[in-house]
Amino acid sequence: MCAHYLGLTMAEVGRLVDELTAAEPTAGEFAGVGVEAYPKSVVPIIVPAFDTAVGVPELVNGSLRTAEAQWGFEQQWTPQPVFNTRIESADKPMCRASMEHDRCVIACRWFYESHGSEMAVSARTGRQIKQQYVFRIPDEPVMLIGGVRRGSQFSMVTTQANADMKPIHPRMPLIVRQGELDLWLGPDYRALADRSDIPLESKPVH
Higher pLDDT, 125 or 63: 63
Closest CA to 72 of 98, 90, 101, 109: 98
Structural domain boundaries of the chain?
Answer: 5-23+32-190
Res 116: pLDDT = 84
Could you tell me the pLDDT band of residue 206, with boundaries at 50, 70 and 90? Answer: confident
Res 56: pLDDT = 94
Could you tell me the pLDDT band of residue 125, with boundaries at 50, 70 and 90? Answer: confident
Mean pLDDT score, 125-149: 94
Mean pLDDT score, 36-50: 97
Residue range 5-23+32-190 in CATH 3.90.1680.10 = yes
**Distance, C-alpha 140 to centroid of its chain:** 15
Res 1: pLDDT = 72
Centre a 10 Å sphere on the Cβ of residue 36 and count the other Cβ atoms it contains: 12
The rounded distance, in Å, linking the Cα atoms of 88 and 168 is: 20
